[in-house]
Chain A
Amino acid sequence: MAYSQCFSVSLSHTNTHTHTYALSLSLSLSLSLSLSLPSLSVSLFLLSLSLSSFSLSLPSLSLFLLSLSLSLSLSLSLSLSLSLSLSLSLSVSVSLSFPPSLSTFQTEHKMSIEECCRKFNTDIVQGLTNAKAAEFLIRDGPNCLTPPPTTPEWIKFCRQLFGGFSILLWTGAILCFLAYAIQAATEDEPAGDNLYLGIVLSVVVVVTGCFSYFQEAKSSKIMESFKNMVPQQALVIREGEKMTINAEEVVAGDLVEVKGGDRIPADLRVVSAHGCKVDNSSLTGESEPQSRSPDCTHDNPLETRNVAFFSTNCVEGTARGIVVCTGDRTVMGRIATLTSGLESGKTPIAKEIEHFIHLITGVAVFLGITFFILAVCLGYTWLEAVIFLIGIIVANVPEGLLATVTVCLTLTAKRMAKKNCLVKNLEAVETLGSTSTICSDKTGTLTQNRMTVAHMWFDNQIHEADTTEDQSGASFDKTSASWAALARVAALCNRAVFKAGQDQLPILKRDTAGDASESALLKCIELSCGSVKQIREKNKKVAEIPFNSTNKYQLSVHETEDPNDNRYLLVMKGAPERILDRCTTIIIQGKEQPMDEEMKESFQNAYMELGGLGERVLGFCHLLMPEDQYPKGFAFDCDDVNFTTESLCFVGLMSMIDPPRAAVPDAVGKCRSAGIKVIMVTGDHPITAKAIAKGVGIISEGNETVEDIASRLNIPVSQVNPRDAKACVIHGTDLKELSQDQMDDILRNHTEIVFARTSPQQKLIIVEGCQRLGAIVAVTGDGVNDSPALKKADIGVAMGISGSDVSKQAADMILLDDNFASIVTGVEEGRLIFDNLKKSIAYTLTSNIPEITPFLLFIIVNIPLPLGTITILCIDLGTDMVPAISLAYEAAESDIMKRQPRNPTRDKLVNERLISIAYGQIGMIQALGGFFSYFVILAENGFLPSILVGIRLNWDDRACNDLEDSYGQQWTYEQRKIVEFTCHTAFFVSIVVVQWADVIVCKTRRNSVFQQGMKNKILIFGLFEETALAAFLSYTPGIHLHKQIDIDIHLHKQTYIYTNR
């Protein structure tokens, strides 16, 4: 306490004394700063302030270490890196040697129903016997997906504790403990420094490990909430009886019945179906529900109509099928297995950190060995020199950096979560920023996964409907009488209804029961003409023929609105060419006109145009039935049609598409200007895929595919130079035949690529192809079919709302709002954090030099130790932390979305240039600042620089209590140690002060600080916090505690000696 009082006084005195030369120092320093980095001129006067001396009596316990071997640490790190590279190559080979083909494994769809029954010992009417079912259940196991092997929590925790950067700190800690152990064995009073340093290093690693573990645990908790816990039920027929059992108990050979709204319990071979449609979008990417029937329509089991797949949904109708595969043997199960078999590689940031560790180790070993040789030359024993070597290596470990990096990443992850990007793995935060290729699934990611009426054709004109999610788009002329007629037909000839209890919801958000296209029509009419329910009530339905694939139309007969009009209204919709065949007239401007050739041609053009947009076109017609032939009460017979379905009146066309999400085109544009290649990979048809690709800008305006050029120039496709076409659409079947080189060629030479009808393996191949070309690939998708690619990608992005569980499991990041545009946010944040991490690291590394040089000079020129170990920890884990973290909040320097993605081979997080500036330039300036204040303190107390060289042996000798200074005065050990601690404090405060300047230096990389401004409030807070903490550490009497204990122990020992003798 007495010390701090004395020094508070001395501080004020020192200031008055030092002001005169403070100015000259600052001037000359500013010169050097502007030499090295032009933007640093702000820092000019800050260095000078470092002269002020605070009192901090930190222990100066010598940094002498004794150790068994350096080779231990070296071999440790070597073997570590070896094992790392080994595991990497292993994972690569695993992923390559896993090529099961999904398209050839099933043959049941080609068998007849009888063959199938025989194969599974089942009966087409009675189903399995209960005994057989039980036997099969035991043989095949339950019908559920084996969950991917979950990593035990403790392994996850260990991964946090021992991954990447932590290794560096652990190595340092182990070296420290080792040194302390040997010191304890060889010296009477070992300095505690190594012990403290080791403990602090371990604590830092453990605390940061826990921090990031809990951070990721939080994300996985959100993941858990996605899981659907409701057990699925299935209706099976066994021994002729229908029974509802748990879907898990379904076995191969079971006869299963499904109806609209059910989830398919297993892979089914359909034996009978009534208007059954299934939604395969999560498996194949097709937005449109597919009808199912008992006939085999395709060799490929994924395309054929008579197979319904596990975990897809039956949208409408009913079907009965024999279970052919259960559990992991289903198509879905195989994809899931494929996914969990894949190892995802290291994240780019992990690679960067590894590179950084190599660099740091290189610098540390270089410094260590240089001074080892110097120490040997200076006459230290080789053992002492080895101790110095280890000391220097340990001193190079940036203790605070691990925590800084983790906190920076966490902050960004939080910021991204706020913008609806949930990051599962902390390191993935940066990956999106390095991404150079995005492979995006179409359905559900780029599109709304909801059929919507996009265009109409009536009055011989194509009208565009509003497809945006919020109905902000343009509308069309609704006054025409033809539109009224079309709307009426669409409303009446429609079986879709809104589910009950949704009156509050906007129309587009309501759930419907029924076919996707009918729902689209329902919503379209509800939006433009008001309640469909009322229209239907006014026009009571009298008869109905549902859609079937032979007729390709749907028909219903209604009463008219006008109670006086006793005619019946026949409305029909269906495939446009079939409808047209039945029509003799057409409505134009509300007037019926005969259908002439000209009109037919214009119909054809409209039909072709809409079809070319990838849209599903429906034709509509109606007929007011003559009262004389069909009087009121006429009994319409739908099975044996007893009324006319010819010479109808054509009303118009309506076409539907799964429209792109509103934000997608803009987001794609932003990705493109950010130098990111966007590739569409979809299971859907090429025409639809191409239309959507054009719609969202993946194929930009004016860019043509080979086929486009061919049709424009009217030449065969083979004559077009493929290099002329920047865009291309590749069909899955073509992809199969491409060699690896051809694949590379396509990926390299086309900027705009669409892959259609791709299988999950092919998605994987595409991702691998991109990675082979050096791209960092992001994959977005929501379906099960996307999950292998999601896992393989450098970063997999799944959809939070529409995404399947499997895809979410495989992904690294989840878009909570399903909005592709959130990816752009992710890219922006990722690039920003990369830049800011660079700044943070530069800032943190810089102070390493003023921390190491005191020890080096202590060894080489034998001066009193200018900076103690504990003081170094105060800087690394105390004052430097907040400013380093505050750099994570730094705003972007320029439009980071306008530059190319970084090149992972060239643009490193930490490169030689950063080390050179941090260590070679700024660090050196800082060290000089620190040494200056050190020399000032000693000189003003009587020890001029000239006598300091070589004084160390006497200085640190406890028995030497009359050490003479430059003025002839004599000092006791304690007296000069207090001066030494004052030097530590002064050095410490100098570093704090020069770090003010350094944080401003590191704040910007390209801009000057005047362009960038000081808008980062956290950084300004950091400056104050740093200063306040430094003042606290310097002035709080309790901080002397450490030294006090040391002395007390010493005294205690003495009294012990007295009492025992």
Chain B
Amino acid sequence: MAKDAEKSTWKDFIWNSRTREFCGRTGSSWGLILLFYLVFYIFLAGMFCLTMYVMLQTLDDYKPTWQDRLGTPGMMIRPRGKAMEISYNTTNTETWDMYIKTLDNFLSPYNNSLQAEKNEECTPDQYFVQADSGDVKNNPKRSCQFNRTFLEKCSGLDDHTYGYQAGKPCIIIKLNRVIGMLPGKDGQAPFVTCGAKKEDSDKIGEVEYYPENGTFNLMYYPYYGKKAQVNYSQPLVAIKFLNITLNEDINIECRIISNNIPPGSVRDKFAGKVSFKLRINTKG
């Protein structure tokens, strides 16, 4: 008995044919509620859009308001590997083929022909400053050429396998772009230096840097942002391990040496440095 009553009240609640109520409300009541919420939400959405619009108006098109997070620029390697781990087998082409492809893709914009077409040759060892004169923007900004050939043995032009096949792999290092950053003072260009973690120090062997000394030439700075400096070519440094110990994990850390880049936070393993693991197998 009680259960029946319960059931019918439930049914009644969902659709009460007597009062023509759905879930305790008539159609017009539901309609009004929906209408209210529709109007209310349209209004809220409009207002939100308005506030967002106003907020965006306050932003500068060429430079973000805050850059204090980027005081120490990050560093990154190519190929990135899987979770900063590059390991392959020299005898097995498939294990390093993807690295070659990554590097080919990454370096294709640096082809000399392309660079010559888009960018210009600048005076080396000095900042390529293109200041705006007051409100008049000096846009678009020009960019300096960074030719693929600067990477010499690591350019992939002579050795299409970037030394991977020979167990003398090239790793390309880049410094994260930060608008307006001047990475060295007194004409001292920043340069990359790589080393192994303590216990691996005798395993790393000889390392060669391209361009010479692993420097990022000052002419590529400052960066003016992707809107003002569309064709900017990020400078690169390639390192080539000439006689690295094979068949072993080697932890390598590369850091930027500069006289005005502050040391990064202890927590950030990629601020001003980059660590990765290299393992080259030779056996089956």
Contacts and interface: CB of A to CB of B under 8 A. Distances in A.
B202 to A, nearest CB: 14
Interface in A940-961: 940-942, 944-945, 958-959, 961
B51 A972 contact: no
Nearest to B58: A17
- SS class, residues of chain A in contact with chain B: helix
Interface in A908-940: 920-921, 924-925, 928, 931-932, 935-936, 939-940
A974 interface: yes
B66 A10 contact: yes
B251 interface: yes
* Residue among A2, A6, A942, A1047 having the largest count of chain B Cβ atoms under 10 Å: A942
* Residue among B59, B225, B267 having the largest count of chain A Cβ atoms under 10 Å: B267
Contacts of B62: 967
B65 A940 contact: yes
A36 interface: yes
Interface string A956-981: 00110110111111111111101100
B14 interface: no
B226 A967 contact: yes
Given A24-B50, A959-B83, A967-B226, A928 B176 contact: no
Contacts of B178: 969-970
B40 A921 contact: yes
Nearest to B76: A962
A976 B41 CA distance: 32
B66 A941 contact: yes
Contacts of B43: 31-32, 35
A1061 interface: yes
B74 A975 contact: yes
B177 A1058 contact: no
A107 interface: no
Contact of B251 (A970, A1044, A1058): A1058
Interface in B174-216: 174, 176-179, 197-199
Given A35-B43, A921-B40, A961-B74, A972 B52 contact: no
Interface residues of B, number: 56
B110 to A, nearest CB: 16
A571 to B, nearest CB: 69
Contacts of B114: none
B176 A972 contact: yes
Nearest to A945: B52
Contacts of A969: 64, 67, 70, 176-179, 225
Nearest to B200: A1058
Contacts of A36: 40
A911 B229 CA distance: 59
A813 B51 CA distance: 55
Contact of A968 (B82, B177, B268): B177
A972 B64 contact: no
B137 interface: no
B136 interface: no
A21 interface: yes
Given A21-B54, A35-B40, A1058-B199, A967 B227 contact: yes
A721 interface: no
A970 B37 CA distance: 42
B74 A970 contact: yes
Nearest to B47: A28
Contacts, number: 153
Interface string B222-243: 0101110100100000000000
A965 B70 CA distance: 12
B264 to A, nearest CB: 8
Interface string B60-85: 00111111111001111000101110
Interface string A1036-1061: 00000000100100000000001101
Interface in A9-44: 9-10, 13, 17-18, 20-21, 24-25, 28-29, 31-32, 35-36
B176 A971 contact: yes
A968 B271 contact: no
Given A974-B267, A975-B74, A21 B65 contact: no
Given A932-B55, A962-B176, A975-B271, A942 B223 contact: no
B123 interface: no
A979 B69 contact: yes
Nearest to A962: B76
A936 B40 CA distance: 24
B179 A968 contact: yes
Contact of A21 (B58, B66, B83, B267): B58
B270 interface: yes
A24 B54 contact: yes
Interface string B23-56: 0000000000000010011011001101110111
Interface in B232-284: 232, 248-249, 251, 265, 267-271, 274
A941 B65 contact: yes
Contact of A967 (B69, B225, B267): B225
Nearest to A6: B68
Given A967-B64, A972-B270, A978-B69, A959 B84 contact: yes
A1047 B50 CA distance: 40
Contacts of B227: 967-968
Contact of B51 (A10, A13, A24, A35): A24
Interface string A194-211: 000000000000000000
Nearest to A959: B83
Nearest to B51: A25
Interface in A289-323: none
Contacts of A1059: 199
Contacts of B47: 25, 28-29, 31-32, 928
A551 B76 CA distance: 119
A939 B56 contact: yes
Nearest to B81: A959
Contact of A1047 (B64, B74, B83, B267): B267
Given A32-B44, A972-B74, A967 B63 contact: yes
Contact of B69 (A18, A925, A941, A964): A941
Contacts of B199: 1058-1059
Interface in A803-840: none
Interface string A421-461: 00000000000000000000000000000000000000000
A972 B268 CA distance: 8
Given A945-B52, A975-B268, A1058 B197 contact: yes
Interface in B75-132: 75-76, 80, 82-84
B269 to A, nearest CB: 8
Nearest to B84: A959
Nearest to B57: A21
Given A924-B41, A928-B44, A972-B270, A935 B84 contact: no
7 contacts: A13-B65, A24-B51, A32-B40, A920-B37, A939-B55, A940-B64, A961-B75
Q: Ordered nearest first, which 7 A-B pairs have the shortest CB separation?
A: A968-B226, A972-B74, A970-B176, A942-B64, A974-B268, A940-B65, A972-B270
Given A944-B59, A970-B177, 12 more contacts: A32-B44, A928-B44, A939-B59, A941-B69, A959-B83, A961-B75, A968-B179, A971-B69, A971-B176, A974-B268, A974-B269, A979-B69
